[in-house]
Chain A
Amino acid sequence: MSLKGVKPVARVLAREVAVTALLLLGVSVVVFCILYLAPGDPFSLLLEGQMSAGAPGQDVREAMGAPNAWHARYLSWLAGMLRGNFGASIRTGLPVLEEISRVGLNTLLLTLGSMAVTLLVAVPIALYAAVRGVNRVSFPLTMAAYVVSSLPVFWFGYVVIYLFLHTFGLFPLAFGGSQGTNRLYLLLPIVVLGLGNGTLSEVIRHLREEMGRVLSEDYVRTARAKGASVWKHAFKEGFLIPVTEIVASKIPFILGGAVIVEQVFNWPGMGRMAWQAAQDRDFPVIMGIAVLAAVFVRAGNLLQRFVYIAVNPGASRETIGRRVA
């Protein structure tokens, strides 16, 4: 990419980072408001075992030195976050940053892995359907993909586990199985989430339509007329941009699916922790996870914006990346 292209890209990225920061702030405000409105109190969780205390939380709150008024709590959290200190989980006492980064890694592995599986399945089908159109091969494959992506993901997980149990007689869980954590078992939840996260059919449709449109563009005809390889010319607009677009827009879905798959496959991920924290009203952990998840999603968007700009530097700055319809 020639030097000339760097200046606008750098400026765009700087603007993106600013927008992301603003977004993270917005996310934290929204999550905090919802939490504040929810009945129940994180501190009552600590007194679970003992019933006859006074109203839970009141004396405990002073003991933990938590400020009372809700906006004070938010501002103290925010000040802490800006200094990189996300506070400590009320339930386990571990510093939130350390806990969610460890757990976030697992979810990142699961999410990226399942996204790779989704693309691994969707791309061939979509490209074949785009080139060959509807025929004996592309139709059944597309139908199969539609069927798989319409299944409830946890039921699909159970089916896969049941088959695995009864065909191999081995326990497929990477975490918790006693035969040592065989890395191969990591694949199972990744494949299940990859196929079952409900985005497979949309990914195929989007890629198929985009590639089909590009293949009928004039400049692809010129490429064929000049004997050049169609794939080399159609690659950028027909494949690279649509893939990054659809991936960026599907991250929230896949993260959602991850919460379920992590429970079924006993995968210690961010989703499971978020689920536990929400029920405990473990305020610092929820905020930490909401921010981390938001970073995941924004990173996806940034990647997409970056690819869009890098691919056609001619695109002027304000044509905001084409969002996936």
Chain B
Amino acid sequence: MRKRYVEAPGRTDEASGLRFFRKSEAVDLFFVGYGLLIVVLVAVSYAAGVFRLLPHDPEAVNLDLMLAPPGTAGHLLGTDFMGRDLLARLILGIQAYFLPGLLAIAVATVPGLALGVLAGYGAGRADRVITWFSNLVDSFPRLVLILLVIAAFKPDIYFIMVVVGLTNVPATVSLVKVKIRFLREKNFIEAAEGLGLPRRTIVLKHILWHHCRASLIIRATLGMGEAILMETSLSYLGFGVQEPTPSWGNMVQSGANYFLQGNFWPSTVPALAILLAILGFHLLGDGLNNLLERKAVY
């Protein structure tokens, strides 16, 4: 298969603004595009949920219309095991992840960064202690730890997400630490210190912003994906978001009970929603990383 390389005369001047986009592979643009589409969709559905602009009342129980296939009686995506409209619950369901998901990412990133810098930048002893703690958190099987905490306190989505965030702190710590170690080898930091730059700018601007930005974006998008999957698993075990508030996780779980009997859609609809959302976040992370990575050549 022959690949074409054509010289476009007149297009080769430096000034054209599109350089950034043309510089990247078409694939990355597709990834970022799809990812942004998902983020917009999630934001819109979150807003629709908040302002109650929903096709049907998500909590209206209708026992005559239980497990109705998509398209019956005005329910675009059919109804769930209580006869409630699946589309409305799907739109409202994102609320279980939007803010809590962001919380999970914040909890994973902020302390992660701080400890990472401390470990990478600080003295050897700080590094050993922080590594020990991150190994400690990592040594738990994630789900059992979360279950214990929820069983101990209360099954509230924000609570779950804080714990999910905490279990991701070690990954961020190691990410930042490895980057700082790498930069130290390049005596990049000594040069900056030599210039008398205050340590704060070195850490914040040079290390975190320019070098860790790409990986942190990936961690954030992965974090959101993981938060959704974790809540779904917990819902299967009964400890996710509780009825009657909808969440994609508990919709899949309650739908799955009827899956083996042949009613596929109550669990397939939210499962596909989860799939498309997580795929969106993954690709957004991947695409942005490739774009930003290509710029930050180190």
| Chain A interface (Cβ < 8 Å from any Cβ of B) | 19, 22-24, 26-27, 30-31, 34-35, 37-39, 134, 139, 146-147, 150-155, 158-159, 161-162, 165, 198, 201-202, 205, 249, 252-253, 255-260, 263, 271, 274-275, 278-279, 286, 289-290, 293-294, 296-298, 301, 318, 320, 322-325
The residues of A that contact B177 with a CB separation of less than 8 Å are 323
- Verify A278–B271 contact, CB threshold 8 A: no
Task: Report the Cα distance A22→B286, complex, angstroms.
Answer: 37
Q: Is the interface of A mostly helix, strand, loop or mixed?
A: helix
Partner-A contacts on B (CB < 8 A) = 25, 27, 124, 127, 131-132, 135-136, 138-144, 147-149, 151-153, 167, 171, 174-175, 177-179, 215, 222, 225-226, 229-230, 232-233, 236-237, 249, 252-253, 256, 259-260, 267-268, 271, 274-275, 278-279, 282-283, 286
Q: Which of B151, B236, B237 contacts A38 (CB 8 A)?
A: B151
Can you name 16 A-B residue pairings with CB atoms under 8 Å?
A27-B140, A30-B136, A34-B149, A37-B152, A146-B283, A152-B233, A155-B268, A198-B226, A252-B138, A255-B143, A260-B237, A278-B144, A278-B151, A296-B141, A320-B127, A323-B177
Contacting residues, chain B, for A198 (C-beta < 8 A): 225-226, 229
Contacts of A260 in B (CB 8 A): 143, 233, 236-237
Across the interface, which residues of B come within 8 angstroms of A255, CB to CB?
141-144
Interface centre among B139, B229, B282 (most CB of A within 10 A): B139
Are A147 and B135 touching (Cβ within 8 A)? no
CA distance A252 to B146 in the complex (A): 12
The one of B132, B142, B215, B222 in contact with A23, judged by C-beta atoms closer than 8 angstroms, is: B132
Query: Of all chain A residues, which has the CB nearest B226?
Result: A198
Do B143 and A150 touch (CB < 8 A)? no
User: In the complex, are the beta carbons of B274 and A147 less than 8 A apart?
Assistant: no
Instruction: Decide if B139 touches A158 in the complex (CB within 8 Å).
Output: no
Min CB–CB distance A129 → chain B (angstroms): 11
Set of chain A residues within 8 Å of B124, measured between Cβ atoms: 318
Residue of A nearest to B182 (CB): A322
What is the CA–CA distance of A258 and B127 in the complex, to the nearest angstrom? 32
In contact, B237 and A152 (Cβ under 8 angstroms): no
A259 in contact with B141 (CB, 8 Å):
yes
Given the complex of chains A and B, what is the CA–CA distance between A51 and B17 in angstroms? 77
Residues of B within 8 A of A278 (CB): 144, 147-148, 151
B138: chain A residues at CB < 8 Å are 249, 252, 297, 301
Evaluate contact between A150 and B275: CB separation under 8 angstroms. Answer: yes
A81 to chain B, nearest CB (A): 16
Q: Are A320 and B140 in touch, CB under 8 angstroms? A: no
- Does A147 contact B275, Cβ atoms closer than 8 Å? yes
Question: CB distance A134 to B27 under 8 Å?
Answer: yes
State in angstroms the CA–CA spacing of A278 and B135 once bound together.
23
Distance in angstroms between the alpha carbons of A24 and B140 in the assembled complex = 10
Contacts A201-B282, A259-B144 given; does A297 touch B151 at CB 8 Å: no
Interface centre among B131, B267, B268, B275 (most CB of A within 10 A): B275
Residue with the greatest number of chain B CB neighbours at <10 A, chosen from A257, A275, A278 = A278
Q: What are the residues of chain B within 8 A of A134 when measuring CB–CB? A: 25, 27
- Evaluate contact between A150 and B178: CB separation under 8 angstroms: no
Q: Is the CB of B237 within 8 A of A151?
A: no
Most A CB atoms within 10 A — which of B131, B143, B260? B143
A26→B136 contact, CB < 8 A: yes
Flag if B148 contacts A151 (CB, 8 Å): no
Q: Across the interface, name the chain A residue whose C-beta is closest to B131.
A: A320
Contact B260 A293 (CB under 8 A): no
* B275 partner residues in chain A, CB cutoff 8 A: 147, 150-151
Whether the Cβ atoms of B143 and A31 lie closer than 8 Å is no
Residues in A whose Cβ lies below 8 Å from that of B271: 151-152, 155
Q: Is the beta-carbon distance between A297 and B139 smaller than 8 angstroms?
A: yes
Q: Which of A30, A34, A154 contacts B256 (CB 8 A)?
A: A154
CB-CB under 8 A from B151, the residues of chain A are: 38, 278-279
Q: Contact check, A253 vs B279: say whether CB atoms are below 8 A apart.
A: no
Q: Are B148 and A38 in touch, CB under 8 angstroms?
A: yes
Q: What CA separation (Å) do A39 and B150 show in the bound complex?
A: 11
Report A-chain residues with C-beta under 8 Å of the C-beta of B153: 37-38
The listed residue with most B CB atoms (<10 A of its CB), out of A150, A255, A301, A324, is: A150
A27 contacts across to B, CB distance below 8 A: 136, 139-140
Q: Which residue of B lies closest to A157 (CB)?
A: B256
If A263-B236, A290-B140 touch, whether A152 touches B148 (CB-CB below 8 Å) is no
Residue of A nearest to B141 (CB): A255
Residue of B nearest to A254 (CB): B141
With A151-B271, A151-B274, A275-B237 already in contact, the answer to whether A325 and B140 are too (CB < 8 A) is no
Given A38-B148, A147-B275, A198-B226: A158 touches B267 (CB 8 Å cut-off)? yes
- Shortest distance between the CB of A18 and any CB in chain B (Å): 11
- Would you give the shortest CB distance from A13 to chain B, in whole angstroms? 15
Q: Which residues of B contact A153 (CB under 8 A)?
A: 229, 233
Interchain CB contact under 8 A, A256 and B142: yes
Q: Is the CB of B259 within 8 A of A256?
A: no
A150 with B140, Cβ < 8 A, contacts A34-B149, A158-B267 known: no
Give Cα A24 to B167, complex, Å: 17
Residues of A within 8 A of B267 (CB): 155, 158
Task: Known pairs A139-B27, A252-B139, A275-B147; list 6 more (Cβ under 8 Å).
Answer: A147-B279, A154-B232, A255-B142, A258-B141, A301-B135, A323-B177
Cα(A258)–Cα(B233), bound, Å: 11
